[in-house]
């Protein structure tokens, strides 16, 4: 019963927030700035409200706060919530500032990459400190082997947050694409959390409820985009979930589509530089390649969702959940 209540409550709160947020963003003219080098059919998306991540960040936070009060959570349960929401809020704020600067400058120049990376390092240091203070271990488990990384685990946290947040950010290029993939990945992780960390399971369900609500407005044709506000926050929570569950390596499998999208950009840039102008894909990230090959946007999204589902199933299989 509490699972259904959490999902529905989070969904309803997020819908209410979106109904208030969309006209407000339109009024402030905080719309999407479309890159001129992107697919030409994306030019019509210009001006669509962005920063929509505010809705599902706040919506899931409100839902978890209410659930925690109703069920009188104990100290240990709030620890899990802190480890989950700290990176979500930090990366959400980081993305919001980036989106805000882009909106007021009317170009695609936000926070300087060097400043962004510095702030990400600061979060990782803070997160690692809190993580250790909560008596969490620094062991990585691979099959039947265990490796205690000690302070190196802090570096792993930095790598997981930065790579995961950037991967989701790169994937957020088509209506509903990143939102749907996140729902699929979170469903997979929630299946694992149900058996090992019920508090985290409930928190994940709250985010899924918020994302389902957001998808209603973000599916093609999108009425709102999540922006860096949402994509950076979602990538951060994927990493946080893997850290809390001690399934660090499983993040690569369950988030397989995000990994492929990132690799497509890395390969494209490296090949372009090496060959002085040649390309592997018509455009990267990979979803744009299929668009330029003639596939409809919704068809590309659906194909990538199926891929995400298969990676999720593979992740659960490797974890022994199915």
Number of domains making up the chain: 1
Is residue 162 a part of any domain in this protein? yes
User: pLDDT above 90 covers what percent of the chain?
Assistant: 80
Is residue 110 a part of any domain in this protein? yes
Angle between helix axes 152-171 and 177-196 (nearest 10 degrees) is 140
Question: And the tokens for 312?
Answer: 């999720």
Angle between helix axes 53-70 and 2-28 (nearest 10 degrees) is 150
Per-residue model confidence as pLDDT tens digits over 93-131: 999 999 999 888 877 778 888 998 899 899 999 999 999
Task: State mean pLDDT over 286-306.
Answer: 95
Is residue 256 a part of any domain in this protein? no
Q: Which residue has the higher pLDDT, 220 or 45?
A: 220
* ∠ CA 292-294-297, rounded to 5°: 85
Give the SS3 label for residue 149.
coil
Is residue 264 a part of any domain in this protein? no
Per-residue model confidence as pLDDT tens digits over 71-94: 999 999 999 999 999 999 999 999
Yes or no: say if 202 and 81 are a contact pair by the CB < 8 Å rule: no
pLDDT band for 276, please (50, 70, 90 cuts).
confident
pLDDT band for 208, please (50, 70, 90 cuts).
very high
Is residue 285 a part of any domain in this protein? no
Predicted pLDDT of residue 105: 80
Is residue 40 a part of any domain in this protein? yes
- Which long-range CB contacts under 8 A does 30-35 form with residues at least 24 apart? 30/99, 30/100, 30/103, 31/103, 32/225, 32/227, 33/102, 33/103, 33/106, 33/107, 33/108, 35/108
Yes or no: say if 256 and 308 are a contact pair by the CB < 8 Å rule: yes
Predicted pLDDT of residue 266: 95
Predicted pLDDT of residue 9: 97
Q: Which domain holds residue 241?
A: 2-249
Predicted pLDDT of residue 200: 98
Comparing C-alpha atoms, which of 234, 251, 267, 119 is closest to residue 192?
Answer: 251
- On the question of pLDDT at 321 being above 80, the answer is no
Q: Residue 144, class by beta-carbon neighbours within 10 Å (0-12 exposed, 13-18 middle, 19+ buried)? A: exposed
**CA–CA distance, 103 with 186 (Å, rounded to integer):** 30
Predicted pLDDT of residue 1: 82
E strand map for 35-168: 139-142, 145-148
**In angstroms, how far is the first alpha carbon of the chain from the final one?**
24
Comparing C-alpha atoms, which of 213, 220, 206 is closest to residue 177?
Answer: 220
Predicted pLDDT of residue 18: 97
Is residue 126 a part of any domain in this protein? yes
Q: What is the dihedral of CA 163, 159, 315, 321, to 10 degrees?
A: -140
Is residue 314 a part of any domain in this protein? no
Angle between helix axes 256-274 and 297-319 (nearest 10 degrees) is 120
Task: State mean pLDDT over 259-284.
Answer: 93
In sequence order, the 6+-apart residues with CB closer than 8 A to the CB of 314 are: 253, 256
- On the question of pLDDT at 289 being above 90, the answer is yes
Per-residue model confidence as pLDDT tens digits over 23-58: 999 888 886 766 655 565 665 666 789 999 999 999
The continuous run of DSSP H or E covering 139 comes out as: strand 139-142
In sequence order, the 6+-apart residues with CB closer than 8 A to the CB of 249 are: 140, 142
- On the question of pLDDT at 275 being above 80, the answer is yes
Predicted pLDDT of residue 145: 84
**CA–CA distance, 236 with 254 (Å, rounded to integer):** 14
Question: And the tokens for 180?
Answer: 């749907």
């Amino acid at each position: 019963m509490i699972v259904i209540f959490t999902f529905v409550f989070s969904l309803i709160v997020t819908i209410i927030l979106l109904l208030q947020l969309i006209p407000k963003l339109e009024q402030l003219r905080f719309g999407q700035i479309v890159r001129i080098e992107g697919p030409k059919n994306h030019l019509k998306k210009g001006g669509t409200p962005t920063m929509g991540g505010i809705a599902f960040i706040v919506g899931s936070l409100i839902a978890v706060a209410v659930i925690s009060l109703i069920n009188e959570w104990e100290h240990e349960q709030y620890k899990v919530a802190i480890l989950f929401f700290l990176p979500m809020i930090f990366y959400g704020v980081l993305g919001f500032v980036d989106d805000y600067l882009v909106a007021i400058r009317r170009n695609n120049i936000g926070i300087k990459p060097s400043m962004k990376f510095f702030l990400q390092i600061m979060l990782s240091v803070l997160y690692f400190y809190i993580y250790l203070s909560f008596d969490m271990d620094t062991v990585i488990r691979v099959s039947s082997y265990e490796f205690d990384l000690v302070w190196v685990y802090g570096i792993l946290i930095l790598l997981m947050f930065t790579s995961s947040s950037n991967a989701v950010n790169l994937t957020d290029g088509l209506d509903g694409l990143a939102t749907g993939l996140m729902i699929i990945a979170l469903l997979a992780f929630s299946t694992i959390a149900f058996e090992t960390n019920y508090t985290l399971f409930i928190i994940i369900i709250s985010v899924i409820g918020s994302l389902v609500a957001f998808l209603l407005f973000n599916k093609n044709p999108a009425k709102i985009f999540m922006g860096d506000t949402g994509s950076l926050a979602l990538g951060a929570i994927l990493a946080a979930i893997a850290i809390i569950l001690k399934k660090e390596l499983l993040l690569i499998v369950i988030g397989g589509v995000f990994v492929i999208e990132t690799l497509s950009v890395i390969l494209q840039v490296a090949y372009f530089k090496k060959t002085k102008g040649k390309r592997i894909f018509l455009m990267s990230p990979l979803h744009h390649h299929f668009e330029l090959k003639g596939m409809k946007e919704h068809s590309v999204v659906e194909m990538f969702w199926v891929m995400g589902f298969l990676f999720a199933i593979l992740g659960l299989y490797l974890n022994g959940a199915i």
